[in-house]
Amino acid sequence: MSDLPSDNPTIRRAGPIGAPLPEDIAKHFPQLQIVGLLGQGGMGAVYEARQKSLDRPVAVKVLLPDPDRDASFAERFDREARSLARLQHPNIVTIHDSGQSGDLYYFIMEYVDGSNLRHVMNAGAVDPSKALAIVSQVCDALAFAHEEGIVHRDIKPENILLDKNGRVKIADFGIAKLMSRGKTDYTLTAPQQIMGTIHYMAPEQIESTTEVDHRADLYSLGVVLYELLTGELPIGRFPLPSQRAPVDSSLDEIVLHALEKEPARRYQRASDVKTDIEAAALRQTPGAAPRAVVAPGSVASTYYPVAGVKSAAIAYLLWCLCFIGVSGIHRFYAGRWITGIIWFLTGGLFFIGQLVDLLLIPGMIRQANLEAALLAHGTSVSQSPGPDQHSPA
């Protein structure tokens, strides 16, 4: 935490969105060159800046002044900021510094040169393969944060950034907890937000913002996944993803599992979501219709009808060969030893060969499916992030 000197200047608002003007913000940060306003959300405004001493771009998150802020906020801010500073991960926006200047609380963060997921989605439909790759990286970030004991509480497209190289960066970890004063304050849609946060919140989070754990983030992630695949929000009796988009129906099971109302029935770890997402990515062929319903995490996928015919034929042959073996034994005991032995050995050898073949069929099917899925996945074309350079508030 750093405490910057400030003459506590008057904060003027930049237009109807109410964010402070960049020139007023600059008075609080003499060590920074404030470039301009990037955006604003319900919990603060974000400015692009340049750190003069290191000559590097940074983003400044300013929590807007609030007359209702209680006396313990400064202590809570300091405690939360120290926790968030521990989140050093490739898929999480890094916090360089934090503190208070006048009546402004701020975070100086890593600047992500790219766009947030909302802007990417507004630019056009996201390819399913790209959508799964994005969600997989979000899972990595959440798994790391949850292991550190930090819950995001506000996973939504506005807080998922994509840099120019396609890498995902999650912003605003823990900010929702810091700003929340009660159920009413947090669940209502804030002015100027593109989409109400309430649509991404787990049921238990709406009922009590103070008694949620990491599984609330996994519910929100399920909403984001559904929206990426269908372009819609899962509200009311919503259709399955495979009914709205050309995606493998195994994604239906993943979405439904993530959106379970009861936390105990939901995914328990972000790493489990990633495992199922990666398995679904192998089965996903862009533009192809779903071929099979598969339980999450399963490796086997498509069932080829020819395998069933072959299995039935082998079963019939086994029955015939058993008859041959019995016939050989009968000849042996009837005194026709040579022909009996030949019949018995021939039937037995064929019986063993066909039995081995029958046992190997499932493995052969799985191998063929996996090779086909890998080939399809390797040749899929993903879209590049849009040119929009804004970061979320």
Three-state secondary structure string covering 18-58:
CEECHHHHHCCCCCEEEEEEEEEECCEEEEEEEECCCCEEE
Strand partners, 62: 45, 106
By CB neighbour count within 10 A (0-12 exposed, 13-18 middle, 19+ buried), where does 141 fall?
A: buried
Distance CA 277, CA 273 (A): 6
Edge-to-edge strands, sheet with 56-63:
2-3, 95-101, 104-110, 56-63, 44-51, 32-41
Catalytic residue selected from 140, 154, 252, 272? 154
DSSP code for 372? H
Distance CA 230, CA 245 (A): 6
Distance CA 19, CA 34 (A): 14
185: Cβ–Cβ under 8 A, 6 or more apart, which residues?
A: none
Distance CA 40, CA 17 (A): 8
The amino acid sitting at 276 is D
Q: Tell me the helix, strand and coil percentages in the chain, rounded to 5.
A: 45, 15, 40
DSSP code for 194? S
Give the helix/strand (H/E) hosting 116. Answer: strand 114-116
- Alpha carbon of 203 to those of 42, 135, 194, 206, 237: distances in Å? 21, 21, 21, 5, 15
72: Cβ–Cβ under 8 A, 6 or more apart, which residues?
A: none
The amino acid sitting at 222 is G
Tokens of 138: 């979000």
154 is catalytic: yes
Tokens of 71: 């006396």
65: Cβ–Cβ under 8 A, 6 or more apart, which residues?
A: 11, 103, 104
Residues with catalytic roles: 154
